[in-house]
Structure 1
Amino acid sequence: MTPWVHSTSIDRGLFKAMLTERGILAMIIASQAVAFIYTLASGKDFWLSLGLVSLFTHANAFITLGLIALVLRYSKSLSFKSELGLVLIFFQSVCIVTSLVVQYSPFTPVEPIDWPFIINNNAICGFVVILLLHFMAIYIDNLNTIARVANAELDALQARIRPHFLHNALNTLAELCHENPDDAEDAALTMAKLMQIAFARNKTHSLGQELSLTKGYLTIERYRFEHRLRVVWSINNVDLGANVPALILQPLVENAVVHGIEPAREGGVINIDISTVNTMLVINVDNPLNADSKSRSGQGIALENICRRLLIYYGEKASLKTSQKSGRFLLTVMLPLGALNEISGSRR
């Protein structure tokens, strides 16, 4: 794909890309390079001229970035072509204004206005901006490629964990059909509701939806384990509307049921603690430790799956840790609130 090919991702990407660390750095480098080349070509006092020209070029760059930030804040639906046009207009307009201001400064007063000077500045500005936008388009295209790869991997990970969830739920339903047909019917209705959430196309949803999915799963498992399965919830100071990866809590709880409750003849207690610490959402799930458990496989797969998805969504900011203490197995997930990676978003 060439840098200028129209795509949905690029449509929303130019302004944001220019305001990233890499975009601002590219702007600074381009501005300083122009100042350096212009000073060398002028043949005047090098250091004084370099300082003044650098001030001029950087002022142009940062004023333009400020205008871009304002537009981005108040307008969220501009196309790539619109953003491209606005960038060119902003740069050229700011260059004209600053060129006029410079002519009235105490350092280089000019009277009357030196229009060739202004035209020359705008020609240089336009040439540099076109080169800058070309390389920014290449950068955005690379981001889009990364996004497509990340989304493809997320699709594969979701496709891998969802059948695992369905398999275990169907096993529970099959056992209930023999033991308690009435409960099997209720469990089947509950499962139907869960399937709408678990198999939704979105890769992310609200924390409230994830809690609803997990509680529904536990409802099904209670039909099978009855008094053997006891769950203690502790949810403190959390925003249920916070956006989290889909199937991030339910597999942890399923892991606790399969490897902590199922092998134990007397069952046990699963503790689920969810809280907000500073800007982190902290999820703790602990269950009885059964080191010699021969229950259904999938613990390593599920945890590896979650770790990989967390890495795609949050980079190194999120974590999943396991520990053992006093006969309990503890899983701790820490998610930075509001930091879901946009390139791995849920748009399909």
Structure 2
Amino acid sequence: MTPWVHSASIDRGLFKAMLSERGILAMIIASQAVAFIYTLSSGKDFWLSLGLVSLFTHANAFITLALIAFVVKYFKQLSFKTELGIVLVFFQSVCIFTSLIVQYTTFSPVEPIDWQFVFNNNAICGFVVILLLHFMAIYIDNLNTIAHAANAELEALQARIRPHFLHNALNTLAELCHENPNAAEEAALTMAKLMQVAFASGKKHSLSQEISLTKGYLTIEKYRFEHRLNVEWTVQNVDLDVRVPALILQPLVENAVVHGIEPARLGGSIKIKVNCREDKLLFTVDNPFNPESKSRSGQGIALENIRRRLVIYYGEQAALKTSQKSGRFFINVVLPLGALNEISGSRR
């Protein structure tokens, strides 16, 4: 089975792959290899011939890539077969055009036009392009396999953290039912709205939605801890419409409540800071910390979950760091703006 003909998973992925860094590098290498082989077989002055042929092959490659970039800009919804046909037509058309143009240059004017030269160039171009597309399609298939695996892992991580969130909220309601039935009723209504947002948000949503989700969670916990829980919010210099992974801030705050506030007899304050600096979105959550106090099991599970999701979404560009100082526990998350990977498997 030929991957670039039959694979449905690479549908509409050819243009994006060709315009990527690796795709452009592959074009340069393939163009230079053709120039080198053609020069060796010609038997002419090697270096002069290599320079001219390299100029010819690279011109073909980059003019074609420029045309592909133009199509990508104005036509978003194209099937893989359509993209494949466009690539072949563009390469062949550009090769014919440049083969005709070079015959009118001062280096080698030809009169009349040498159509055999045009045909030979087009045949070589067609063969090399088909070979290049074949290996490009294999590369795209591998990328899609990795993306599907990452998507499956994200589903598992998301499925793990949401029940954890629900479990803690239900524990809060259970305690309130005995201590303050009226507050339990209000908390249940708040939790119903919160669950609707948390479970319908998907893998990504806006920063404003994440902040709203976190504040809703804190509202529920406030019913239980009352004066023992104090929260200080600082949100400045940020675009609230920026896209972030869902449940990225709320678990950090939940971690602060469960392991910082709950074990402390007098409670304490949680400080949440959200700001933007040098094209990076920064989350900082700090809470009281006593290494000798006992809290619910699960210390570090949420943090490791978030670390793994950050790697999937941002690679090595994002970071989650923890530290302890003066009886407080700090969590710092750095997210690069505009670098959120599309892992969901959706088409362009």
1:327 equivalent to 2:324? Answer no
Across the aligned residues of Structure 1 and Structure 2, the Cα RMSD in angstroms comes to 1.4
Question: CA contact under 8 A between 2:229 and 2:261: conserved in structure 1?
Answer: yes
CA distance in 1, matches of 2:303, 2:219: 22
Using the TM superposition, name which of 196-205 and 295-304 deviates more: 196-205
Per-residue deviation at 1:201? 6.3
Judge conservation of contact 2:147–2:345 (CA < 8 Å) in 1.
no
Tell me the residue number matched to 1:157: 157
User: Any idea what SS the aligned residue of 1:239 has?
Assistant: coil
For the structure 1 residues 287 and 201, does the alpha-carbon distance in structure 2 shift closer, same or farther, using more than 3 Å as the test?
Answer: closer
**For residues 205-252 of structure 1, what are the alpha-carbon distances to aligned partners after superposition, in whole Å with 9 as ceiling and x for unaligned?**
111111111000000000000111110000001111111111100000
Residue 345 to residue 239, structure 1, CA distance change in 2 (3 Å): farther
Select between 196-205 and 139-148 the one with higher mean Cα deviation: 196-205
For residue 346 of structure 1, report the CA deviation from its aligned partner.
6.9
C-alpha distance 168-346 of structure 1, shift in aligned 2 (>3 A): farther
Q: Is the 8 Å Cα contact of residues 148 and 345 (structure 2) preserved in structure 1? A: no
Whole-angstrom CA distance in 2 between matches of 1:293 and 1:64: 65
Q: Give the aligned partner of residue 275 of structure 1.
A: 275
Alpha carbons 1:202, 1:346 under 8 Å: kept = no
- 1:38-94 CA distance string (max 9 Å, x none): 112212111111110010000000111111111112221111111111101110111
Asked if 1:232 is matched to 2:232, the reply is: yes
Distance 1:213 1:148 in 2: 28
Percent pairwise identity = 79
For residue 311 of structure 1, what is the aligned residue in structure 2?
A: 311
Quick check: 2:206–2:242 contact (8 Å CA) kept in 1? yes
Tell me the CA shift for residue 300 of structure 1: 1.1
Preserved contact between residue 204 and residue 346 of structure 1 (Cα < 8 Å): no
CA-CA distance at 1:113 after TM superposition: 0.9
Give the number of equivalent residue pairs.
Answer: 346
Q: How does 1:136-285 map to 2 (within 5 A)?
A: 136-200=136-200, 202-285=202-285
| CA-CA distance at 1:192 after TM superposition | 1.2
SS at match of 1:199: helix
Q: 1:347, CA displacement in angstroms?
A: 4.1
1:56 aligns with 2:56: yes
Q: Return the alpha-carbon distance in structure 2 between the equivalents of residues 170 and 193 of structure 1.
A: 14
What is the TM-score when the length of structure 2 is the normalising length? 0.97
Per-residue CA deviation, residues 133-176 of structure 1 (Å, 9 max, x unaligned), is 00010000000000011011111111111111010000001111
Partner SS, residue 275 of structure 2: strand
Equivalent position of 1:21 in the other structure = 21
TM-score of the aligned structures, taking structure 1 as reference length: 0.97
Would you say the 8 A contact 1:202–1:347 is kept in 2?
Answer: no
Amino acid aligned to 2:344: G
SS in 2 for 1:297: coil
8 Å CA contact 2:259–2:295 kept in 1: the answer is yes
4+ aligned runs moved over 2 Å, structure 1: 4-7, 345-348
